[in-house]
Chains A and B, each alone.
Chain A
Amino acid sequence: MALDYFEVECREESGRLAYKDIAADVLQDLDLIKVVSKLYIRIDLDFPFFFAAGVLRKMPPPVKISDFAGVMVRDGNIVLDITDERYMAQMLTVLWERYGRDRVIQPDRFTVTIDSSIADAKEIEDTVVFDQRQSIYKDLLYALQWIAPEGFRVRREWVDDHRFWYVSSENTLSPQAIDGIISEKMAMLAADGEDGGAFA
């Protein structure tokens, strides 16, 4: 897995390896590999609790229509020539909302046309269709809930622009029990590598 740092700590070796695989699978499924740069997980089987802390990479910029489609004016129409279908659904939703469903025509899979009398090519090029930053925190916390053992419904979590931690348990989480590990691991991640500045 392409994380800069990835460690799972647990006193049971087979469980540790299993949770390493689960974390890798979940991050991959939710397309978070490119977003998370460091991840540390500790599973304490006696308390019991699940703790995860990590560092996020710099977010990719918002995706505009010009990033994945050629925009041309042809025969009184603005023609969008799609080169990457990945953001097609989001783009159509935005265009339908703005120009009306009957005015956004898709003659084939990779082409969308709009009457140029109602639309401006430059405006369409600059239209943002997807901004990962808006959904990333939700996705990240969902991923951590998914990775954590299911019965651990008592949760505390914290996310900012670069860092996050998440702790969950089936027992009451008192500050005395978790503050130590949170500060220790966040300091470790901060001191370890180029993202360290964020923790200073």
Chain B
Amino acid sequence: MTLVPVTYKGGVYRHDIIVDLIDDLGGYIIQKQVVAQDVFLQSLIPKEDIELVKATGRPLGGEVIESPLVGTEIAIVSPSLDIHHLPHTSCDVAEYLRRVGAKTNMVGLSRGFGKRIANLSIEERDIINEHDCAVFMLGNFETCIEYKMHSLRRGITVPIIVTGGPDRETLKRIIEPSVDGYVGGLGRIGHRMKKQEGEIEYLDRLIDEVSGVLDIRRESIAKDPLSVSPARLMSVIDEDLGITKGSTHPTPVTVQIAGLRVKIPYGEYADYVASIKIDDSVKVGDVAEILPSRMRDYILLRIKPFSDTGIMV
């Protein structure tokens, strides 16, 4: 069964029909957002049942939108959180990635600005490495990007996509060694991106670039599949602990490509989470490493591959 990442967008009225349907089909709802009269369900649905969900949602005014980044957590790395970089372009980029289903976290570096003085702290490095990929939002000058990129990428192990003012070819030429993705034309600006040409088109390219990078990651994971799908693990943990019901976080259990971020204290719950049963003979601790996250006191689960555990649930 291949699960496809999609977003269901429809009215709040009777949307529980869709929720139940996705559950019955063996799909997972990664995130549910209610915005005024509308409900957005970011879900993984079996490929062959997409038409059924569309048909069921049609009388309720619902539509199913392809969202390639559902089930991924992406770090948007901004040189700082000052007015120079926020809300444009960092927020525009973060919002655009969320529209296609990604869970984005803005990582504002404490010393990411400047040319000579730019650097990355150990805490920032570790937080970025907890994500599926990192989008580095750099500035307008190729001289500065070339000079500072070495300091900013030091120790980063996840795929990096660099955006900046110079065009894509220039970014490719100046960044050595190469990174996983480049998007030109997306440097520092002073206004919200609205124009299709020269602004939104670059955001669309960024989506394509991030999707491409994550597809490669997914393919490499598929060669040695995970012991349990992250979405299934999310549903097992959430059902046992009832985290979503008791939390105000938008995504209390965040799904990543090969792991989960569970937003409850590590100290109190790590052992319990490890002991939750996935089925009669397999516990969460058997198929995943339970690690303390550098983000607050959350729990980070890294799902082990089949070759490591010999278990597939």
Show the binding face of A for B, using Cβ within 8 Å: 10, 12, 14-15, 18-19, 21-26, 29, 43, 45-46, 48, 146, 149-152, 170-171
Per-residue A-contact encoding for B167-190, CB less than 8 Å = 1, 0 else:
100100000000000000001111
Cross-chain contact B84 with A150 (CB below 8 angstroms): yes
Cross-chain contact B114 with A151 (CB below 8 angstroms): yes
Cross-chain contact B117 with A18 (CB below 8 angstroms): no
Cross-chain contact B191 with A25 (CB below 8 angstroms): yes
Cross-chain contact B84 with A18 (CB below 8 angstroms): no
Cross-chain contact A170 with B140 (CB below 8 angstroms): no
**What's the nearest-Cβ distance from chain A to residue B3, in Å?**
41
A24 to B79, CA, bound (A): 22
For this complex, 24 residue pairs linking A to B, each with C-beta atoms less than 8 Å apart, are A12-B143, A12-B166, A14-B165, A14-B187, A15-B140, A15-B142, A18-B187, A18-B189, A19-B140, A21-B189, A21-B191, A22-B188, A22-B189, A45-B141, A45-B144, A46-B143, A48-B144, A150-B80, A150-B82, A150-B85, A150-B113, A170-B114, A170-B115, A171-B116
Count, A-B residue pairs, CB within 8 A: 73
**What's the nearest-Cβ distance from chain A to residue B174, in Å?**
11
A25 to B188, CA, bound (A): 12
**What's the nearest-Cβ distance from chain A to residue B238, in Å?**
40
A21 to B187, CA, bound (A): 12
Query: Chain B interface mostly helix, strand, loop or mixed?
Result: loop
A48 to B117, CA, bound (A): 11
User: Which chain A residues lie closer than 8 Å to B222 at the CB level?
Assistant: none
B118: Cβ under 8 A from any A Cβ: yes
**What's the nearest-Cβ distance from chain B to residue A89, in Å?**
23
User: Which chain A residues lie closer than 8 Å to B122 at the CB level?
Assistant: none
Which residue among B82, B84, B117, B165 has the maximum number of chain A CB atoms within 10 Å of its CB?
Answer: B84
Cross-chain contact A14 with B140 (CB below 8 angstroms): yes
Cross-chain contact A151 with B188 (CB below 8 angstroms): no
A48 to B116, CA, bound (A): 9
Closest to B187 in A: A18
B252: Cβ under 8 A from any A Cβ: no
Known A18-B187, A22-B188; contact A146-B116, beta-carbon cutoff 8 A: no
User: Which chain A residues lie closer than 8 Å to B35 at the CB level?
Assistant: none
Cross-chain contact B190 with A22 (CB below 8 angstroms): yes
12 new A-B contacts, CB < 8 A, other than A149-B139, A151-B117, A170-B115, are: A14-B142, A14-B167, A18-B140, A18-B188, A22-B189, A25-B191, A45-B115, A146-B84, A150-B82, A151-B113, A151-B118, A152-B114
A152 to B114, CA, bound (A): 6
User: Which chain B residues lie closer than 8 Å to A25 at the CB level?
Assistant: 189-191
Closest to B142 in A: A12
User: Which chain B residues lie closer than 8 Å to A171 at the CB level?
Assistant: 116
A43 to B187, CA, bound (A): 16
User: Which chain B residues lie closer than 8 Å to A26 at the CB level?
Assistant: 190
Closest to B166 in A: A14
User: Which chain A residues lie closer than 8 Å to B142 at the CB level?
Assistant: 12, 14-15
User: Which chain A residues lie closer than 8 Å to B216 at the CB level?
Assistant: none
User: Which chain A residues lie closer than 8 Å to B189 at the CB level?
Assistant: 18, 21-22, 25
User: Which chain B residues lie closer than 8 Å to A149 at the CB level?
Assistant: 84, 113-114, 139, 144
B1: Cβ under 8 A from any A Cβ: no
Per-residue A-contact encoding for B107-125, CB less than 8 Å = 1, 0 else:
0000001111110000000
User: Which chain B residues lie closer than 8 Å to A14 at the CB level?
Assistant: 140, 142, 165-167, 170, 187
User: Which chain B residues lie closer than 8 Å to A15 at the CB level?
Assistant: 140-142, 165-166, 187
**What's the nearest-Cβ distance from chain B to residue A152, in Å?**
7
Which residue among B115, B139, B167 has the maximum number of chain A CB atoms within 10 Å of its CB?
Answer: B115
B36: Cβ under 8 A from any A Cβ: no
**What's the nearest-Cβ distance from chain A to residue B176, in Å?**
18
A20 to B190, CA, bound (A): 10
Closest to B88 in A: A25
A151 to B84, CA, bound (A): 10
Cross-chain contact B79 with A150 (CB below 8 angstroms): yes
Cross-chain contact B114 with A150 (CB below 8 angstroms): yes
A29 to B140, CA, bound (A): 21
Closest to A19 in B: B140
Cross-chain contact B165 with A151 (CB below 8 angstroms): no
Nearest first, the 8 A-B pairs at minimum CB distance are: A151-B114, A25-B190, A151-B113, A18-B140, A150-B84, A150-B113, A15-B140, A45-B143
Cross-chain contact A146 with B144 (CB below 8 angstroms): no
**What's the nearest-Cβ distance from chain B to residue A169, in Å?**
10
**What's the nearest-Cβ distance from chain B to residue A24, in Å?**
8
